[in-house]
Amino acid sequence: MTKVVLASNNAGKLREFSAILSEAGLEMVPQGALGVPEAEEPHPTFLENALAKARHASRLTGLPALADDSGLCVRALGGRPGVHSARYAALAGGEKSDAANNRRLVGELASVQDRRAGYVAVLVYVESADDPRPIVAEGYWEGEIIGEPRGGNGFGYDPHFYIPALGKTAAELAPAQKNAHSHRAMALQSLLRALRARGGA
């Protein structure tokens, strides 16, 4: 079994990844278990932030690394919070928490008609910190932002992310259902296909 370090400190992401990766025969170790501290994420693109996180974890552990940079992009907000999703409330002087981020989001959309939004996940896999061929995969999930939270599963913006085709928010989906539809799961399936199709160095 190939051992891969998961370059994330987000418990919700780690749960979603481990369910899929164990089926794929990959042993995943969260970076926190190996003493890797959070990486800087200063870049304007999901791709650059994911690459920075993957390289950081691989450099410090000597293992292949998988990173996820993701966020919520809201049409009426011109794509915000986007790459700043995790720090959305903190950037306005609030605390760095899911609850505060959701309060800011819902407040900004209070009198907005267009509720369309999408989750984006960009995953990067590197064999080593200086891997010349990082594998990149993207996933997207369309939904709408609702003002009243619904459901207790998932994490982050999930209680406000409503999927019309399913008639539920992401937080109302069972973990396996979220993994059958989500941006993260779609990106991971595509990354695993690329990994399987990859030739040697």
Ligand X SMILES: O=c1nc[nH]c2c1ncn2[C@H]1C[C@H](O)[C@@H](COP(=O)(O)OP(=O)(O)OP(=O)(O)O)O1
Instruction: Point out the residues that are catalytic.
Output: 69
Token readout for 199 is 């030739």
Segment near Mg ion (CB under 5 A), from 79-87, 88-96, 159-167, 190-198?
Answer: 79-87
**Residues 132-171 contacting ligand X, CB under 6 A:** 154-158, 170
The neighbouring-strand residues paired with 73 are 81, 118
Per-residue contact flags (x/-) with Mg ion for residues 82 to 121, judged by CB under 5 A: ----x-----------------------------------
Nearest to 13 by CA among 28, 24, 23, 3: 28
Which residue's entry shows tokens 């990844």? 17
Which amino acid appears at position 157 of this protein? Y
CA–CA distance, 124 with 196 (Å, rounded to integer): 15
Residue 154 near which of ligand X, Mg ion, none (CB within 5-8 Å, type-dependent): ligand X
Nearest to 88 by CA among 75, 67, 72: 72
Residue 158 near which of ligand X, Mg ion, none (CB within 5-8 Å, type-dependent): ligand X
Token readout for 159 is 């209680």
Pick out the residues of the known binding site for substrate. Answer: 8-13, 70, 155-158, 178, 183-184
Which residues of this protein are in contact with Mg ion, per CB under 5 A? Answer: 86
Which residues of this protein are in contact with ligand X, per CB under 6 A? Answer: 8-10, 13, 38, 41, 68-72, 85-86, 101, 119, 154-158, 170, 182, 184
